[in-house]
């Protein structure tokens, strides 16, 4: 698991380095070139977010005794991603001196006001877009949690059903054992009774034989 996390770390480092370079270039561009670079950066940021989700899943699979260290590293990467997103937002509405002069042209006064107004409108639009994106991510995270909760609930119900079947089988075996013990007890009681009866019969038979021998001896002696 940790090797996968470290592989994701390498991808994160390479991608964020590229993003930092591209975000720094955005204010220096204008027109179609700037638009294309913004779209490219936005796509890479989405890839980094997906990479962070993979890293988060990997951390959950790491043993608890080692998880704290990876959680700290993951937290720092999330902070770095947030900084990149803020820098990207600022770069989309920023202009370098050369581009700004090109946009203003000779009519600096009125164009300056228009540029400021345009910048404010774009900033407002970007704020709304980011709010929508954050809301969308929260909804996705909530949905994921709901799905995971449902899966855990199903596993718990399945385990409870299995435990119930085990308890029922144990009860059935206990009833069978009780029945067998009762049957064995009755058999042993009958055997003991027959043993006692046989011993009584043996004693009575021995007493009769002994009495017969005594009487025979007595009458024999008396006849002489």
Is residue 70 predicted with pLDDT exceeding 70? yes
- Please give the torsion angle defined by the CA atoms of residues 208, 212, 214 and 219, in that order, rounded to the nearest 10 degrees: 150
The owner of tokens 């993951």 is: 74
Is residue 174 predicted with pLDDT exceeding 70? yes
14 and 47 in contact (C-beta within 8 Å)? no
Assign 124 a pLDDT band (cuts: 50, 70, 90).
low
Which has more confidence, 211 or 108?
211
Assign 157 a pLDDT band (cuts: 50, 70, 90).
confident
80-94: pLDDT as tens digits? 999 998 888 888 876
Q: Is 202 helix (H, G, I), strand (E, B) or coil?
A: helix
The owner of tokens 């980094």 is: 48
Assign 33 a pLDDT band (cuts: 50, 70, 90).
confident
Q: What pTM, to 2 d.p., does this model score?
A: 0.47
Is residue 154 predicted with pLDDT exceeding 90? no
User: Average pLDDT over the chain, rounded to whole?
Assistant: 81
Assign 97 a pLDDT band (cuts: 50, 70, 90).
very low
By the 10 Å C-beta count (0-12 exposed, 13-18 middle, 19+ buried), 195 is classed as exposed
Distance of CA 203 to the CA centre of its chain: 79
Which has more confidence, 5 or 123?
5
30 and 103 in contact (C-beta within 8 Å)? yes
Which pLDDT score is estimated for 148? Answer: 76
Which pLDDT score is estimated for 208? Answer: 92
Based on DSSP, count helices (H) and strands (E) in the chain, helices before strands. 5, 0
Measured between alpha carbons, how far is 46 from 61 in angstroms, rounded to an integer? 23
- Please give the torsion angle defined by the CA atoms of residues 85, 88, 90 and 91, in that order, rounded to the nearest 10 degrees: 170
Which pLDDT score is estimated for 48? Answer: 92
Structure tokens at 126: 């970007």
What sign does the dihedral 134-79-64-11 (CA atoms) show? positive
Best-predicted range by mean pLDDT (70-74, 99-103, 144-148, 150-154): 70-74
77 and 52 in contact (C-beta within 8 Å)? yes
Burial letters 150-173, b for 16+ CB under 10 A, else e: eeeeeeeeeeeeeeeeeeeeeeee
Kindly state the average pLDDT of the residues 35-48.
90
186-218: pLDDT as tens digits? 898 889 999 999 999 999 999 999 999 988 888
Q: Is 166 helix (H, G, I), strand (E, B) or coil?
A: helix
30 and 99 in contact (C-beta within 8 Å)? yes
């Amino acid at each position: 698991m940790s090797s996968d996390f470290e592989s994701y770390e390498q991808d994160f480092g390479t991608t964020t380095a590229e993003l930092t370079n591209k975000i720094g270039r955005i204010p220096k561009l204008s027109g179609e070139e700037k638009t294309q670079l913004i779209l490219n950066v936005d796509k890479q940021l989405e890839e980094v977010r997906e990479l962070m989700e993979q890293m988060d899943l990997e951390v959950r699979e790491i043993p608890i005794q080692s998880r704290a260290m990876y959680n700290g590293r993951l937290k720092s990467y999330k902070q770095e991603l947030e900084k990149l997103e803020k820098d990207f937002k600022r770069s989309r509405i920023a202009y370098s001196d050369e581009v700004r002069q090109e946009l203003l042209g000779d009519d600096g006064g009125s164009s300056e006001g228009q540029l400021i107004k345009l910048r404010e409108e774009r900033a407002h639009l970007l704020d709304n877009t980011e709010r929508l994106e954050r809301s969308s991510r929260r909804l996705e995270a909530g949905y994921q949690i709901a799905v995971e909760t449902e899966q855990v609930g199903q596993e718990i119900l399945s385990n409870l059903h299995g435990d119930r079947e085990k308890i029922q089988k144990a009860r059935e075996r206990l009833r069978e054992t009780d029945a067998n013990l009762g049957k064995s007890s009755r058999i042993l009681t009958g055997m003991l009774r027959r043993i006692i009866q046989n011993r009584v019969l043996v004693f009575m038979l021995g007493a009769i034989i002994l009495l017969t021998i005594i009487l025979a001896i007595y009458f024999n002696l008396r006849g002489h």
